[in-house]
A and B are shown apart, each in its own frame.
Chain A
Amino acid sequence: MPLENEILVRARDLRKRYGDHEAVRGVDFEIQRGEAFGFLGANGAGKSTTMRMIGCVSEPSGGHLEVFDRDPHTDGPAIRARLGVVPQDNTLDTMLTVFENLTVYAGYFGIKRKEARAKAAELLEFVQLTARSGDQVNDLSGGMQRRLAIARSLINAPDLVILDEPTTGLDPQARHLVWERLFQLKQQGVSILLTTHYMDEAEQLCDRLVVMDEGRIIAQGSPRELIDTYVTKEVVELRFGGKHTTALAEIARGLDGIGGQIEPLPDRILVYTDDADDTAAALEAREIRPTSMLDRRATLEDVFLRLTGRALVEDEA
């Protein structure tokens, strides 16, 4: 029986520096057994670097890190023996078949051949690749390769599975297949750690998450808590015909004082508000008439835009 609130990963002021560039600038977090923990952030936010440090394939430059109550610096192999890793680029062995990718990988964990074959067959079933068992890896689609990488990460019955952007680059159908598998893992009680820049992914899969930006954690909590804390209940999306970017920014300035925060995007303006009807009335009072007005519940994406919104503005410049 796993202990209640058993902590699998503990990081305090964790840092990673590459030359002059500090990729991770002092992050603190704890990951508990049984939870699905997410790292949300744009590219270059420091997510993958943090994953690599937890995976004991990157030495922290500062701070404190413990995985399974052990020190990655001295106990790397012992920690890795209990981890399952799905890297961003899969790193499947292209010289081997689908089935061999699993059995050979099992060998790296010291799993005996007979057990490895049984486990491999079982995992191929789980990721729905049994029919492709004898194929070369390069003949698989991107989604299948990712599923194979997920199966491979489970070969040692890990205590924690680390997935770095599990659905990046996959088509919508393939994404759903991956999500389905991950959801099933979660239900089996496997602890999952994933990075993503897809809000819907984080919202669907994560019990708890941190938002990273420029090497720092800028917010953490459950998806619901984050939405409650950082954005209003509702969001009104305003579009003004074909107007975009600078024209929209101009209009946005005229919206000051209406609702909560105003976020001009390239194609629309977001108005955060607790009451959409009030906002509509206020717009009418100022004689601002958008061509379309959409009222919806706030999502994690809004949290993300709110927290890192300026990044978009910088991108435009």
Chain B
Amino acid sequence: MSVISYGLVRARLEPSGSMLARNWVAMRRAWVLVVSGGVESLLFLFAFGFGVGSMVGDITLPDGTVISYTSYVAPAILANAAMMGTLLETSINVFAKFKWMKVYDGILNTPMRPGDVALGEVWWALIRGGIYVGMFVIAMGAFGLLDSWWSLLAVPASVFIALAFSGIGLTLATFFREWTDFDWMMAVVFAMFLFGGTFTPVEAYPGFAQPIVYVMPLYHGIELVRGLSLGDFSPMMVVNVLYLVALAVAGTWFAQRRLAKALYK
């Protein structure tokens, strides 16, 4: 790495860093709000993992391995936590800053560009998602659901989920007009949570439904996190990662285009 290219990277990232700094300062007084989002996922883990898990016991995966239902569901709920953390941060909070508080209007009068704003929001969403994931993984460890050191790879895997959903959330934020639009988003999110392979392998669904599941971003996140935390590697994981990264890049790029169009009027 030459000095010049280091300088270039820094010059590229510094503006988005100041957007991140703004969110940090703004949320400093509201950490309880941020952390409470993580608690929700823990409740899910208790309800489904231990509640339902104690009744189901062990299950046999399509490839023949036998594991406890709780260890099967936990990674999926982890993936869900990463999704919710970033999706809510980027969609609802960005929407509020964009349409209600007009925060970006002020920011674009500075050297900052819409792309810097979008990227800064992605960094912030990653941090928020990272907090949820961290809380969750600690809980998984405490309940003995982490079978090997490999399962710690679930953490970086969740970063890809967080990336993908921050891109999606940003784009949605630019399309939403009013709060009721979020009900639609939540409905879709809930459907993904229920049918994206959280509770059952995709193979359990009827044939016509399976392609729909394959399109769901959450499905790819769940596959990735589950595979890693169970130490069950497959080449499909590369596809999962690529799909998530593609969504992240496309979402962020599209969102900054939409922001520019709305604010550079």
> Which positions in A face B, CB cutoff 8 Å?
18, 52, 55, 57-59, 76-78, 80-81, 83, 85, 87, 89-96, 100, 103-105, 107-110, 152, 156
Contact = CB atoms under 8 A, between A and B. Distances in A.
B101 A107 contact: no
B103 A95 contact: yes
Interface in B84-140: 101-103, 105-113
A85 B15 contact: no
A57 B263 contact: yes
B111 A57 contact: no
Most chain B CB within a 10 A radius of its CB, from A80, A91, A109? A91
A77 B111 contact: yes
Interface residues of B, number: 23
B102 A89 contact: yes
Contact of A105 (B14, B101, B102, B110): B110
Contact of B113 (A77, A90, A95): A77
A152 B113 CA distance: 18
A59 B26 CA distance: 31
Contact of B22 (A57, A81, A104): A104
Given A89-B102, A100-B25, A109-B111, 9 more contacts: A58-B265, A80-B109, A87-B109, A91-B106, A93-B22, A105-B106, A109-B110, A110-B14, A156-B110
A110 B106 contact: no
Contacts of B56: none
Contacts of A107: 18, 21-22
B150 to A, nearest CB: 40
**Binding site of B, secondary structure by majority: helix, strand, loop or mixed?**
helix
Nearest 6 CB-CB pairings of A with B: A91-B106, A108-B110, A107-B18, A77-B111, A85-B109, A95-B26
Contacts of A94: 101, 103
A164 to B, nearest CB: 11
A193 B105 CA distance: 19
B161 to A, nearest CB: 27
A76 B107 CA distance: 13
A59 B261 CA distance: 10
Given A57-B264, A58-B265, A93-B22, A108 B112 contact: yes
B71 to A, nearest CB: 41
Contacts of A77: 111-113
B102 A108 contact: no
A89 to B, nearest CB: 7
Contact of B264 (A59, A83, A103, A105): A59
A163 to B, nearest CB: 12
Interface in B1-29: 14-15, 18-19, 21-22, 25-26
Interface in B46-68: none
A301 to B, nearest CB: 31
A91 B14 contact: no
Nearest to B21: A107
